[in-house]
Amino acid sequence: MQMGVNKRPRRRRTLAELRRGEQAVLERLDLPEDTARRLMELGFLPGQMVAAAGSAPGGDPRVFRVDGSEVALRKETARHLQVRFSD
Amino acid sequence: MSACGHGSGPTRTAVAGRKTVAIVGPPNSGKSTLFNALTGLRQKIANFPGVTVEHRSGTARLSNGVEIEVVDLPGVYSLDPRSEDERITRDALRGDIPGVPKPEAILLILDATNLGRHLMLAAPVLATGVPTIVLLNMADDLRKRGGGVETEKLARQLDAPVALVSATRGEGLDTVRNFLAGQFAVPRPVELPVLQDVPRCREWSARVGARAGYQAPAPPLWTRRLDRLFLHPAAGPLIFLGVVILVFQTIFTGARPLMDGVESLIQLSGAWMGNRLPDAWWRALLLEGVWGGVGSVVVFLPQILLLFFFIGILEDSGYLARAALIADRTMARAGLQGKSFIPLLSAYACAVPAILATRTIESRRDRIATILIAPFMTCSARLPVYTLIIAAFLPERPLLGPILGTRAAALLGLYVLGFLAAVVTARLLKSSILKSDRTPFLLEMPPYRWPTPRSLGLRLLDRAKAFLRRAGTVILCVAIALWFLAHLPLKDGKAPSIQNSLAGMLGRTIEPVIRPLGFNWKIGVGLLTSLAAREVIVGTLGTLYGIEAAPEKAAEAVGFEKALQKDLSPAGAVALLIFFAFAMQCMSTLAVVRRETGGWKWPAIQFAYMSLLAYAGSFLAYRLVHGGF
């Protein structure tokens, strides 16, 4: 995985910023190991395409489509999942 | 075939102990449906010895007459021992749980429509070395949505039999029965990944899936359409509110005729018995103690079944996950997660099923917090008490025209009071002793499915059995004990007056403690007996006043209300209402809390906290109202 110096920092975002219908590639899970593992078992693996779907009123928690499943995450968790928009 | 060294030969399985097999699978893979399809009505629910995780076991009868014990293990994504469910599943597969025999085979059930991810669980399961059949469930759904997989190729990769099944339709279950009837072989898969490395496991499952020609199905269209409606920013919450009101209304009003039916059945059978039994002390015990005590609880069976019927539909259809999502923010404000919502909703009927329903909450701290606040929600046992006191002390006047009167408003106020107590307590708990280690809210949204009558029926049967078992044990014992307390000590072979009975003496002993709340010794006896169950105070007071009245009809009895007005000042009545809103007067709830939390620590804390709050609350209420007069 190459990250290096990011020329366009605007392109690196977190899952929490994804709006309904948008999708991005998961890069990194900045979470304690147990939580990260639990998320990875649900499909949130680096390199996977994640798409934002519906949410509770107000946008939190939001449903994400990943690896054939739909999983709801609170913003406070989604904020720790770094994503990269595919071109 | 070194695997056939033990357990071979039909004589051993048919005559000696039965073979045990375990069902393992991720949540929402259809484990319970498979379990129900295999065992039918021959099943029982139990907790694993020493832990509070529930498991079910049952008997499957094969075509050759052999019976096999089937154990349904908790839904897991891996066998990583860090979470309680997964540790138990792993220990059960190893035979490390005393009282649960080591399974001789595993039925690994995976969702065929999500095989890429679900296949990951096959790695640790096959690595246990226990003979395994891999069942790819929801085969019909996979085909309908244009997916597919070659089972022989997958079987070669895993070195284990593989079958496409549909547990709801019964498709492919013969393969399962044939597997169970045959001889088991230890699987030797072509390759296995490093189990601790989730990305490696996922790569492995992708590779194995690709070699077996797995074609993932198209996305579930209907689920997406329905979610556009149910998770719509405006329509979603409205539908949610509608569902809550519907469930509420039906639990209260819809159950009424059935409850009245059960009640008259109990009264009729009691009267029938009373006319035929000789006039002896044990007849009175049987009628007043057993029929009156246990009967008043059995009356609530229809209500409880109706509640579980709704929970069953909401859960099996997949809507419950959406409801939990919508409710999450409200729950988050009290420091709880969305999954606490359903248990708290059901606590309006009774705290006992509510506490059982907290099993869906993974975080132990969140679960305990929910268990601790559930008894604050106004359960149906408080209704007769509230109705009686309000009717005796509050004159009916219109407040909002014909829509809302003073009495209904007072009742509503008590419901709100209970809810506020729950929310404030939750905040206190979550910011102190149950401060969460920030377990994140992860909720998988299953596709919508039609609930099947069979699964709903089995659910209700389970609950009815559990409920009646409790009525026949704990509640029966309490009822008999109370009856004796009210009839002893004997004087010249006769029962004493109630004032001089043990119950009366108890009441007068605690009178100094409760006088600051505006209660006399009779109310005190009522408070003591209502420790068993709240509505018991109504019957107790009725007996004390020498009025024969069923708890429900007591409110209408003019004599009862007059007597109560003599015993209680208006300030004392308010204090009594506050007391019942806060106090933990329910043995069954305490017993369930003890069982579900695995010890006396939490029920003791809960009892102390609620009693203290009830005492302080009613003391304040009495002082405030009394001062105003």
Interface test with B, best of A33, A37, A76 (most B CBs within 10 A): A37
The ipTM estimated for the assembled molecules is 0.86
Cα A48 to Cα B308: distance, rounded to the nearest angstrom:
39
- Mean model confidence pLDDT for chain B: 81
Contacts of A51 in chain B (CB under 8 A): none
Q: List domains and CATH numbers for chain A.
A: 14-84 (2.30.30.90)
CA distance B217 to chain A (A): 9
CA distance B518 to chain A (A): 47
* pLDDT band per the 50, 70, 90 thresholds, residue B367: confident
Instruction: Name the pairing type of β-strands B132-137 and B105-111.
Output: parallel
Q: Do B326 and A72 touch (CB under 8 A)?
A: no
CB B383, CB B552: distance < 8 Å: no
Which of A4-8, B100-104, B290-294, B472-476 has the highest mean predicted lDDT (pLDDT)? B100-104
pLDDT of amino acid B439: 62
pLDDT digits (tens, 9 = 90+) for A42-70: 999 999 999 999 998 888 899 999 998 99
Higher pLDDT, A6 or B551: A6
Integer angstrom CA distances of residue B169 from B106, B138, B215, B451, B455: 21, 9, 22, 12, 12
Contacts of A77 in chain B (CB under 8 A): 440-442
CA distance A24 to chain B (A): 18
CA distance A3 to chain B (A): 19
CB B223, CB B317: distance < 8 Å: no
pLDDT of amino acid B461: 86
Kindly report the number of other CB atoms within 10 A of residue B515's CB atom. Answer: 13
List residues in chain A touching B: CB distance below 8 A. Answer: 31, 34-35, 37-43, 45-46, 53-58, 60-61, 63, 65, 67-74, 76-77
Contacts of B203 in chain A (CB under 8 A): none
Whether omega for the bond prior to residue A61 falls within 30 degrees of 0, making it cis, is yes
Higher pLDDT, B131 or B499: B131
Lowest-pLDDT range of B276-285, B488-497, B511-520, B614-623:
B488-497
Q: Do A56 and B80 touch (CB under 8 A)?
A: no
Contacts of A35 in chain B (CB under 8 A): 439-440
pLDDT over 70 for what percent of chain A? 84
Q: How many helices (H) and strands (E) does chain A have?
A: 2, 6
pLDDT of amino acid B39: 87
pLDDT of amino acid B10: 34
Instruction: Name the pairing type of β-strands A62-66 and A69-73.
Output: antiparallel
Q: Is the pLDDT of residue B556 over 70?
A: no
Mean pLDDT within B8-28: 65
B195 touching A (Cβ < 8 Å)? no
Q: Do B445 and A70 touch (CB under 8 A)?
A: yes
Q: Do B231 and A70 touch (CB under 8 A)?
A: no
pLDDT of amino acid B544: 62
Query: Which residues 6+ apart lie within 8 Å of B611 measured at CB?
Result: B583, B584
Q: Do B325 and A56 touch (CB under 8 A)?
A: yes
Q: Residues 103..122 of B with a Cβ closer than 8 Å to A: which? A: 113-114, 116-117, 120
Q: Do B441 and A56 touch (CB under 8 A)?
A: no
At B629, list the tokens.
């007069």
Q: Do B228 and A54 touch (CB under 8 A)?
A: yes
Q: Do A57 and B236 touch (CB under 8 A)?
A: yes
Which of B187-196, B302-311, B616-625 has the highest mean predicted lDDT (pLDDT)? B616-625
pLDDT of amino acid B575: 95
pLDDT digits (tens, 9 = 90+) for B602-624: 999 999 999 999 999 999 999 99
pLDDT of amino acid B539: 65
pLDDT of amino acid B4: 34
Which of B340-349, B422-431, B607-616 has the highest mean predicted lDDT (pLDDT)? B607-616
Contacts of B321 in chain A (CB under 8 A): 72
* pLDDT band per the 50, 70, 90 thresholds, residue B542: low
CA distance A4 to chain B (A): 22
Q: List domains and CATH numbers for chain B.
A: 2-218 (3.40.50.300)
A53, A68, A77: residue with CB nearest B441: A77
Kindly report the number of other CB atoms within 10 A of residue B540's CB atom. Answer: 25
Adjacency order of strands within the sheet including A12-14 = A12-14, A81-84, A23-29, A49-55, A62-66, A69-73, B442-444
Q: Is the pLDDT of residue B11 over 70?
A: no
Higher pLDDT, A28 or B380: A28
Lowest-pLDDT range of B520-534, B583-597, B607-621:
B520-534
Q: What SS3 state is found at A28? A: strand
Cα B627 to Cα B166: distance, rounded to the nearest angstrom:
70
pLDDT of amino acid B231: 93
**Strands (DSSP E) found in B441-528:** 442-444
Lowest-pLDDT range of B64-78, B307-321, B333-347, B506-520:
B333-347
CB B106, CB B100: distance < 8 Å: no
